[in-house]
């Protein structure tokens, strides 16, 4: 069974630009979550989607948005990029239910210059 796939693996953008990251969950997993990982803040929750609906949202500004498609694939978008947005963005998928742990992809490394 293929794992969580994230594209692209690496991205370099300039301040003020926008970026879209993509995530394909494990087959059969309908919940997709996004996390930001930085050396200073660690792993921080961005948002979680299920059945094309955002169920939970972390404490990030509105420049961070996401969506989920009917095939459970998800995208996240960051507009008006800032230097502080440089991070590893991790997508995770799970089956539905509390006893369904998250399985992570290898992330997209975003560098903002």
Residues in contact with another protein by the rule CB under 8 A: 4, 6, 31, 33, 35, 42-43, 45, 48, 50, 55-56, 58-59, 90, 92, 94, 98-99, 101-107
Closest CB 30 distance from another protein, rounded Å: 11
End-to-end Cα separation, the chain, in angstroms: 37
Closest CB 24 distance from another protein, rounded Å: 13
Closer CB to another protein, 14 or 42, in the complex: 42
3-state helix/strand/coil string of the chain: CCCCEEECCEEEECCCCCEEEEEECCCCCCEEEEEEEECCCEEEEEEEEECCEEEEECCCCCCEEEEECCCCCEEEEECCCCHHHCEEEEEEEECCCCCCCCEECCCEEEEEC
Closer CB to another protein, 10 or 14, in the complex: 10
Closest CB 16 distance from another protein, rounded Å: 28
Closest CB 96 distance from another protein, rounded Å: 9
Residue entry with tokens 């290898």: 106
Closer CB to another protein, 17 or 38, in the complex: 38
Closer CB to another protein, 14 or 97, in the complex: 97
């Amino acid at each position: 069974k293929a794992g969580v796939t994230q594209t692209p693996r690496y991205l370099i953008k300039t301040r003020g630009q926008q970026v879209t990251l993509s995530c394909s969950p494990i087959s059969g997993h309908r919940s997709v979550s996004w996390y930001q990982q930085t050396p200073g803040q660690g792993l921080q929750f961005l948002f979680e989607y299920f059945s094309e609906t955002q169920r939970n949202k972390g404490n990030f500004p509105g420049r961070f948005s996401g969506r989920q498609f009917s095939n459970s694939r998800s995208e996240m978008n960051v507009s008006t990029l800032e230097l502080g947005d440089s991070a590893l963005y991790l997508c995770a998928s799970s089956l539905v239910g509390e006893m369904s742990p998250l399985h992570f992809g290898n992330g997209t490394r975003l560098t903002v210059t």
